[in-house]
Amino acid sequence: MEDRKAGYEIVIAGRSVKWPRNEIKYEEVKEEWDKLSPDRTIQGNPAIHYTRANGEKGILLQGESVKVEDGFSVQVDPAHLS
């Protein structure tokens, strides 16, 4: 899958985001989450859970990246939010 000019519709911090590439890094998820939800920022470096549009689930860890597609979403355990 290649990057698309229109981007990918993904969900971060419960909000729809147009992501320009077909891959997202752990650090980019944290940065985008904190920007979208400044009152509930991610504390530390917790595992970030993701769900693909087909329902497949996975875990993104610090230093890793994952392929995205339309409908991709990420969740963080509320215990790791300020």
pLDDT at position 80: 87
Q: Which CATH class is domain 8-80?
A: alpha beta
pLDDT at position 2: 56
| Rounded Cα distance, 63 and 31, in Å | 13
* pLDDT tens-place values along the chain, 82 residues long: 455 668 999 999 999 999 999 999 999 999 999 999 999 899 999 999 999 999 999 999 999 999 999 999 999 988 888 8
| Residue ranges of domains in the chain | 8-80
Surface-to-core class of residue 13, CB atoms within 10 Å of its CB (0-12 exposed, 13-18 middle, 19+ buried): buried
pLDDT at position 4: 60
Is-above-0.85 flag for pTM? yes
Report yes or no: 10 and 17 within 8 Å, Cβ to Cβ: yes
